Structure formats: structure tokens, C-alpha cells
């Protein structure tokens, strides 16, 4: 069980501030801190590593290792249920991310232009949408959809039902809030003098937005888009309650499999999902780093820093 590349602080930083002889527990505490950190990182990665490892297991049983095989990937990719779920996952995540990013960014920009009362209301709703437990949102949205659909269908004789559009709509609520928070945080930390300068040089509002504001907001917008996409791609709780017949996504497939006992095929599907979302993270990180370097910005922490900042 090796910790995944946990770099250890150089010896120079180690004994600083500890006086040998006076503080004999210093060394023990330093050792404990390091050991603790290494163990926690191992704890964080162990389950993920195990899922990936067992997806290559030659055995039908998911829990005992017998040998290396790619068999489960072939099985998974050839499985029509998996193919349909994969297609559904993308059909949900992509439109959701595009729309949520657009609406969230627009609202962040618009909120700068409104009075304090409306802004406070909006802020309150944003926080409520994040604070209210996902399961409550999921069930109350289900009740809303079910009640209104049965009413519409009864009066108009239509046959509207739950499906991919309802999943997209439900996911967008949370994602608009996330994008809104990220973009607003970025806006409030933005250098206003550039905008002033642009106006002083007689640039139109639209041009100022395109050439000054938008490039500065881009890291937050990219991060928001990727967060929205991944949330939607990985979400189980909301999806499972507002999905209809034939609109199962990958997480729903995995949950169903897990309930029947983890199979190597489950692990193979999970591994592909992991690889995909991590590739997205890497892509976002790369885009942000390049953007930061080009604009000489301080956002050196990239995506990770941005997420940590928003959480802080």
C-alpha cells in the first residue's frame, strides 16, 4: 500500500522552531504529522485504486484477485444497456453544462446591475439551492413534475412524462448556483481599472465586455462549465428520481449493479467514468494554467485553487 506520490517536505523545514533537548516531543510530533498525512492520502486513494484494479480482474467475483484481463471492458462496451446509459449521460450532462454556464454567468453579470434588495434575494436563493439536501430537492422536484404532468395530461390529453429533459432541468438548478458563485467571486476580485481604462478609451460596453471582462472571467466560466458537466455526469440522487423509462444514466446503471453485488463489469464501467472525469479535470487545469500564464494572473492554483477558494 504505497501512498500515491506524497512528496515529503525537505529536511530544512522540519526542525524549524524546535529546540533540541528542550522539546523532546517535537520529533515524535513531526513524525506523527507526516505519518498521518501519508495514511490519509492512502485512505483517499485506496478505494479508487481498488475499483480500477479489480476492473482488470480475470475472475467473475469482484472481490478476489486472480489475474489480469481486459475481458470486462469488452463486455461492458458491448453491453447495450451500458451503451444506452452512456448516451443518456452525455445527452444530459452536455446541454445541462452549456445552459447552466450561460445562465449562471449571465445572472452573475446582471446582478451587478441591480439594486441591493433583488441581489440579496438572489443570493439567498443561491445558498438555499446549495444548502437544501439533494434528496429533498430530488423528491420535491419529483412531486412537482408528477403533479403538474398529471394535471397537464388530464386536461390536454397529452402524454408528457419524466425523461431526459426533466433530468436536465433538475440538474441545472444546482449548476446555475455553482456557476453563479464562481463567476461572482471572480467578478468581485476583478481589477476595475482596466474596465475604466477601456471606457476612457471610448470602447463600447460590448467591446469592453468582450476584450476586458470576459477574458478575466474565463477561468471561472471554464471551471463552472466543468463542474456543471461532472456534477451532472456523476449525479445519482436527483437523476434517479426525475428520470423516466429509458432515460437511465451511467450512475443509475452502476447503482443497480451494486445493489446486486459488485461485478467486474461494474468496475470497468466505473473506471471508464473515472478516467473520463479526470481527463476533464486535467483539461480544465491545463486551460486555466495557460490562461493564467498568458494574462500573468495570480490564479496559479488553477482549478484546484479555485475550488478550494470557493469552498473556503
Partner 1 sequence: MATAVQTPEEAKGIRGRGSSALLTTALIFPAGLWYVLLLVAPLIIVTIFSFGNRAKNGGYEAAFTFDNYVRLLTQTQRMEPFFTSLWMAVAGTIGCLLVGLPLAYFIATRTTRHKGLFILLLVIPFWTSFLIRTYAWLIVLGRENVGGFIGSLIGDADFRILGTPAAVLVGLVYGYLPLMVFPLYVTLERMDRTLVEASKDLGAGRWATFRQITLPIALPGLITGSILVFIPMMGEYVIPQILGYGRTFLVGNALVDAFVQTRNWPFGSAMAVLLILVMLITITFYVWFVNRGRHGREVSVL
Q: In the range 142-201, which residues lie near partner 1 by CB under 8 A?
A: 142-144, 147, 169-170, 172-173, 176, 180-181, 184-185, 187-189, 192, 199
The reply on whether position 10 binds partner 1 by CB under 8 A is: yes
The reply on whether position 59 binds partner 1 by CB under 8 A is: no
The reply on whether position 69 binds partner 1 by CB under 8 A is: no
Candidate segments 3-11, 67-75, 79-87, 216-224, binder of partner 1 by CB under 8 A: 3-11
Residue 156: CB minimum distance to partner 1, A? 19
The reply on whether position 74 binds partner 1 by CB under 8 A is: no
Under a CB-based contact definition with an 8 Å cutoff, are residues 216 and 190 in contact? yes
* Nearest CA among 179, 261, 193 for reference residue 226: 179
The reply on whether position 234 binds partner 1 by CB under 8 A is: yes
Residue 74: CB minimum distance to partner 1, A? 20
Among 1, 11, 17, 159, binds partner 1 (CB under 8 A): 17
Q: How far apart are CA 217 and CA 41, in angstroms?
A: 33
Residues 258-297: x where in contact with partner 1 by CB under 8 A, - otherwise, as a string: x---x---x---x--xx--xx--x---x------------
Give the count of beta carbons closer than 10 Å to the beta carbon of residue 158. Answer: 10
Cell of 135: 434528496
The reply on whether position 114 binds partner 1 by CB under 8 A is: yes
Residues 201-220: x where in contact with partner 1 by CB under 8 A, - otherwise, as a string: ---xx---------------
Question: What is the DSSP code string of 271-299?
Answer: HHHHHHHHHHHHHHHHHHHHHHHHTT-S-
* Nearest CA among 100, 89, 149, 106 for reference residue 129: 100
Q: How far apart are CA 237 and CA 8, in angstroms?
A: 39
Give the count of beta carbons closer than 10 Å to the beta carbon of residue 88. Answer: 22
The reply on whether position 254 binds partner 1 by CB under 8 A is: yes
Among 58, 70, 77, 308, binds partner 1 (CB under 8 A): 308
Q: How far apart are CA 193 and CA 95, in angstroms?
A: 35
Candidate segments 56-64, 73-81, 154-162, 215-223, binder of partner 1 by CB under 8 A: 56-64
* Nearest CA among 268, 243, 244, 270 for reference residue 255: 270
Residue 59: CB minimum distance to partner 1, A? 11
The reply on whether position 90 binds partner 1 by CB under 8 A is: no
Under a CB-based contact definition with an 8 Å cutoff, are residues 84 and 248 in contact? yes
Amino acid at each position: 500500500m504505497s501512498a500515491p506520490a506524497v512528496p515529503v517536505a525537505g529536511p530544512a523545514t522540519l526542525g524549524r522552531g524546535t529546540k533540541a533537548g528542550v522539546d523532546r516531543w517535537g520529533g515524535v510530533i513531526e513524525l506523527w504529522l507526516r505519518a498521518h498525512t501519508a495514511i490519509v492520502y492512502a485512505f483517499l486513494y485506496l478505494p479508487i485504486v481498488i475499483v480500477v484494479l479489480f476492473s482488470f480482474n480475470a475472475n467473475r467475483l469482484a472481490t478476489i484477485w486472480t489475474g489480469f484481463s481486459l475481458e470486462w471492458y469488452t463486455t461492458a462496451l458491448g453491453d447495450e444497456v451500458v451503451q444506452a446509459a452512456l448516451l443518456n449521460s452525455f445527452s444530459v450532462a452536455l446541454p445541462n453544462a452549456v445552459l447552466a454556464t450561460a445562465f449562471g454567468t449571465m445572472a452573475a453579470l446582471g446582478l451587478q446591475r441591480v439594486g441591493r434588495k433583488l441581489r440579496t434575494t438572489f443570493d439567498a436563493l443561491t445558498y438555499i439551492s446549495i444548502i437544501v439536501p439533494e434528496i429533498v430537492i430530488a423528491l420535491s422536484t419529483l412531486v412537482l413534475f408528477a403533479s403538474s404532468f398529471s394535471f397537464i395530461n388530464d386536461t390536454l390529453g397529452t402524454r408528457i412524462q419524466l425523461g431526459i429533459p426533466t433530468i436536465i432541468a433538475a440538474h441545472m438548478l444546482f449548476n446555475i448556483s455553482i456557476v453563479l458563485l464562481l463567476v461572482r467571486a471572480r467578478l468581485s476580485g476583478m481589477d476595475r481599472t482596466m474596465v475604466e481604462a477601456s471606457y476612457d478609451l471610448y470602447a463600447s460596453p460590448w467591446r469592453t465586455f468582450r476584450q476586458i471582462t470576459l477574458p478575466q472571467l474565463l477561468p471561472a466560466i471554464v471551471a463552472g462549465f466543468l463542474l456543471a458537466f461532472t456534477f451532472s455526469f456523476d449525479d445519482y440522487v436527483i437523476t434517479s428520481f426525475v428520470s423516466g423509462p429509458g432515460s437511465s444514466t451511467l450512475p443509475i446503471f452502476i447503482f443497480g449493479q451494486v445493489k446486486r453485488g459488485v461485478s467486474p463489469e461494474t468496475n470497468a464501467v466505473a473506471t471508464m467514468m473515472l478516467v473520463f472525469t479526470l481527463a476533464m479535470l486535467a483539461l480544465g487545469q491545463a486551460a486555466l494554467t495557460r490562461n493564467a500564464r498568458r494574462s500573468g494572473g495570480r490564479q496559479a492554483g488553477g482549478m484546484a485553487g479555485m475550488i478550494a477558494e470557493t469552498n473556503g
